[in-house]
A and B are shown apart, each in its own frame.
Chain A
Amino acid sequence: MNKKIKDEDIKVILNSMDFDIPSEIDAKVNEMIYSENLPAGFFKKLLRTSNPFIKWVPAFASILLLITLGLIQLNRNAPERKPLSEIKIEYELKDKNIKIIWVKKENFLLRRLKK
């Protein structure tokens, strides 16, 4: 036997052994494929599992809904703060029964002029 057997020799030796499929096996396979001799619900099962996207749809939808609600909540305008329109300070002199109320308004002068 040749000790220095080459890769190509191995390929040739292996490929020289080429066998035909026994006709009865070939016929049996064809028969099983062509006939309905397949397990019951064969294609139904395949169809159910054929689209991996479908089973993730509910999860995607709920995640999308949560994200949308969160974004809406974040973007909702906070109630506008009204600018200070007046400053009111009260002094009370109890012993003289006097109460002084000092009110400062932005348009104080304007209103006085009008009066």
Chain B
Amino acid sequence: MTLPLFFAGEREITEKYSNKEVIISFNKFFIPEKKALYNFILKSVSFSEDSNDIYQNTALRAFKYFRKFDTSKRFKPWVFSIALNEIRKYFKNKIQSSDIHSIENSYEQIPDTQNRELAEAVYSAAYSLKNTEREIFFLFYDSGFNISEISEITGKTQGNIKVILSNARKRVKSFLGSKK
């Protein structure tokens, strides 16, 4: 009979989960989500090259705290909440170092398709939003999370998220309208 992790002492945890087992288990959860995670980070930081560092930090941080992850919960919102913290940290550092303008308008990575012009307009609209609005905008429209999952990721109430999302939607639509 195994004890629930909550009551397990240090020795029991060490014996139950070896490093190899943790890695295998982590990869089982992480691999299906990593592309979506990378895309969320990339788009959230305006296709900046720093997205690679943020992704790397997120993956390592997720791995580091994976032992604390409650496997009865969904992994995707959990790992996205880590990514969100890393993105916030990135913007904070950029603001502190007055380097915020260097991350704007890096659309070179957007493929040259029929929708390119429209896509650029949507991304421009998204980057005109406030940080919180932009986070929720990308989580909802790009990563496909629902309101309750976004609430789990951001730590905000569902009502608050609905209001922020509605404001963001209005701003984006009015931005796109003004670009006509």
* A20 beta carbon closer than 8 Å to chain B: yes
Q: Would you call B128 an interface residue if the criterion is a C-beta within 8 Å of the partner chain's C-beta atoms? A: no
A21/B68 in contact, CB under 8 A: no
Most chain A C-beta atoms within 10 Å of own C-beta, residue among B23, B64, B68: B64
Task: Flag if B60 contacts A10 (CB, 8 Å).
Answer: no
- How many residues of B sit at the interface, in one of the four size bands? 35 or more
Q: Which residue of B lies closest to A21 (CB)?
A: B38
Within 8 A of A (CB), among B11-48: 13-14, 19, 23, 26-27, 34-35, 38-39, 42-43
A66 to B180, CA, bound (A): 74
Q: Are A51 and B122 in contact (CB under 8 A)?
A: no
Is there contact, CB below 8 Å, between B176 and A21? no
The chain B residue sitting closest to A5, CB to CB, is B176
Do A14 and B141 touch (CB < 8 A)? yes
Given contacts A21-B55, A50-B67, A51-B8, contact A14 B122 (CB under 8 A): yes
Shortest distance from the beta carbon of B117 to any chain A beta carbon, whole Å: 8
A47→B68 CA distance, assembly (Å): 10
Which residues does chain A contribute within 8 Å of B6, judged by CB atoms? 51, 53
Q: How many residues of A contact B (CB 8 A)?
A: 34
B39 touches A50 (CB 8 A): no
CA distance A54 to B52 in the complex (A): 38
Distance of A14 Cα from B126 Cα, bound (Å): 10
User: Shortest Cβ distance from B71 into chain A, in angstroms?
Assistant: 14
Stretch at the interface among B97-105, B108-116, B155-163: B108-116
Segment at the interface with B among A27-35, A83-91, A94-102, A103-111 = A27-35
B88 within 8 A of A: no
- By the criterion CB–CB under 8 Å, are B60 and A33 in contact? yes
A73 at the interface (CB under 8 A from B): no
Cβ contact within 8 Å between A34 and B23: yes
Whether B115 and A21, one on each chain, are in contact in the complex, defined by CB atoms closer than 8 angstroms, is: no
A71 interface residue per 8 A CB criterion? no
A19 in contact with B141 (CB, 8 Å): no
Q: How far is the CB of B178 from chain A (nearest CB, A)?
A: 9
Chain A residues with Cβ below 8 Å from B78 are: none
Which of A1, A16, A17, A51 has most chain B Cβ within 10 Å?
A17
Question: How far is A18 from B23 in the complex, measured between Cα atoms in Å?
Answer: 27
Instruction: Give the one of B55, B109, B119, B141 with max A CB within 10 A.
Output: B141
Q: Are A47 and B169 closer than 8 Å at their CB atoms?
A: no
Contact A51 B64, beta carbon cutoff 8 Å = no
Nearest to B113 among chain A residues (CB) is A16
| Neighbour of A47 across the interface among B14, B110, B180, CB < 8 A | B14
**Cβ distance A4 to chain B, nearest Cβ, rounded Å:** 8
Chain B residues contacting A2 (CB-CB under 8 Å) are: 118, 176
Picked from B34, B42, B119, B180, the residue with its CB within 8 Å of the CB of A13 is: B119
